[in-house]
Amino acid sequence: MAVLEIKKYPEVVLKEKALTVGSIEDRHQRLIDDMIETMYAAPGIGLAAPQVGVSERIIVVDVSKTDETASLIVLFNPEIKDKEGRIESEEGCLSVPGLTVKISRFEKVAVTGLDREGRGIEIEGEGMLSRALQHEIDHLNGTLIIDRMGFLKREFFKKRRKKEAMRRD
């Protein structure tokens, strides 16, 4: 296993819609192990394959830090099938370090996908699990937390990041 580089905004792979995984291969198992190690090392509660430069629909989530009944979730091709309620809360992102954004998300979701072995699975989540699943699925669709900000805040953020990048170069 290895800790992978987490891609940061404005990397192109973060804005692309990830490809559906057809069949789960050995390379996917290695990628999952590396993603899990990377997520814990960051530290984070979720990670999507595009965040480590792989444009495929794979996520890992572990909210056990805030919910001791939770365990590690690995999903291929996750889709939100049912949702209810709304709740607004602050979110951060490993790919957009130093930024937190107040985001409205569904309070409860039901997500379907495939587990590591390729078996169909449905996960029902509420609270932090619901938020983490939605956040990681956003990554698979090329959506970042900055895309959920208002226009003016987003433009201010982009200009500030551009200036910071120019200072580093």
DSSP one-letter string for 115-128 = -TTS-EEEEEEETH
- Look up 122 and say whether it is catalytic: no
Question: Of the listed 11, 37, 122, 136, which one is catalytic?
Answer: 136
List C-alpha distances in Å: 164 to 97, 111, 158. 13, 38, 10
Tell me how crowded residue 41 is: count the other CB atoms within 10 A of its CB. Answer: 12
Q: Which residues are catalytic?
A: 136
